[in-house]
Copies of this chain bind each other. A is one copy, B any other.
Amino acid sequence: MVELFPNAILAIHGGAGVIRRADLGPEREVACRAALETALRHGYKAFLDGGLALDIVEAAVCALEDNPLFNAGKGAVLDSTGQVSLDAAVMDGKTGSAGAVTGIRSVRNPIKAARAVMEQTPHVLLCGDGATEFALQSGLELVPDAYFVTEERRRQWEVQRGRGTVSLSEDNKFGTVGAAARDQNGSLAAATSTGGMTNKRFGRVGDSPIIGAGTWADNRTLALSATGHGEHFMRCVAAHAVHSRMELLGAGIGEALAAVVDGVLIESGGHGGMIAVSADGTAGLAFNCPGMYRGVLLEDGSVRVGVFSDPCA
């Protein structure tokens, strides 16, 4: 399923997966929709202030990271050691620059650490303790590890730990947040942030911090952030597969998203979704699972949000 919105500034997601109205409950649904709207408003403020596409996606993702409802920043799931282990990536469609971190803690907004990698180092991806060490030196806001941990995530972790299983967040929801934006100059950027899988071990890295898998931006085609079963997105190089269809075949954003989300990924067993904004300002929201927390901000300042398979409203 692909929804398209012309004249868009920003598209966001807060994860995808087996999200059903009956399980979620009306109260939480309202809270999730409000959180998505808030993130879109933060992005709109950055847009109106004349911010770069990078600033718009950063503002939206920070709002989602700060909200404990989503599996990124505060409220991220806990790994096998009972701590958070955070991944994030950002890409600038104008320059092709990119930055990413995997396995970090201590920085309130991992997406800012990813941007610092892009802007302050010659590297693209920093991993583990080294990435945290860099982040500690980069002048970003630091928080104690307890900041990230919510009661709900600790309960989920105890359940998974008791079973000895690893879960993509609770009940097959792929918790990740992300944004794609087009600024007043028509430049694009994408950002993705995640806490990964509950009770994950061994320093597992998913698709979110991998340029071309979960995050991509190129001013000639589109900016895109993915969410889903990361290993499949990595094996399919899913974000770059969408880009390639636009770059090489001249496909439109809707056609390219459908070919990958409803085609390549389904064939590989990869469930999840993508949000994107194309060079001509069309937003595309696509997913191949029951639901995706998603939203879009249009040029007239209006917003549309959605959770289940019924269209955004």
Give A contacts to B, CB under 8 Å: 96-98, 102-103, 121-131, 133-134, 166, 201-205, 210-213, 216, 230-231, 234-237, 240-241, 244-245, 248-249, 268
Contacts and interface: CB of A to CB of B under 8 A. Distances in A.
Contacts of A241: 240, 244
Contacts of A205: 102, 123-127
Contacts of A212: 210, 212-213, 234, 237, 240
B268 A125 contact: no
A142 to B, nearest CB: 17
Contact of A237 (B102, B126, B211): B211
**What are the 3 closest A-B residue pairs judged by CB atoms, nearest first?**
A130-B203, A128-B128, A212-B237
Contacts of A204: 123, 125-127, 130
Contact of A202 (B130, B201, B231): B130
Most buried by B among A203, A216, A231: A203
Contacts of A128: 103, 127-130, 203
A245 B121 CA distance: 31
7 contacts: A98-B235, A103-B128, A124-B235, A127-B128, A211-B234, A212-B237, A240-B244
Contacts of A244: 240-241, 244, 248
A56 to B, nearest CB: 21
A128 B130 CA distance: 9
A134 B210 contact: no
Contact of A248 (B134, B211, B235, B245): B245
A211 B122 CA distance: 21
Contacts of A127: 102-103, 127-128, 203-205
A234 B125 CA distance: 9
A129 B241 CA distance: 31
Given A125-B204, A130-B204, A211-B213, 4 more contacts: A128-B130, A128-B203, A130-B202, A240-B241
Given A202-B133, A210-B210, A240-B241, A234 B126 contact: no
Contacts of A123: 202, 204-205, 231
Contact of A231 (B124, B129, B236): B124
Nearest to A97: B235
Contact of A96 (B103, B210, B235): B235
A297 B121 CA distance: 40
A172 to B, nearest CB: 14
Contact of A240 (B125, B130, B166, B240): B240
Nearest to A127: B203
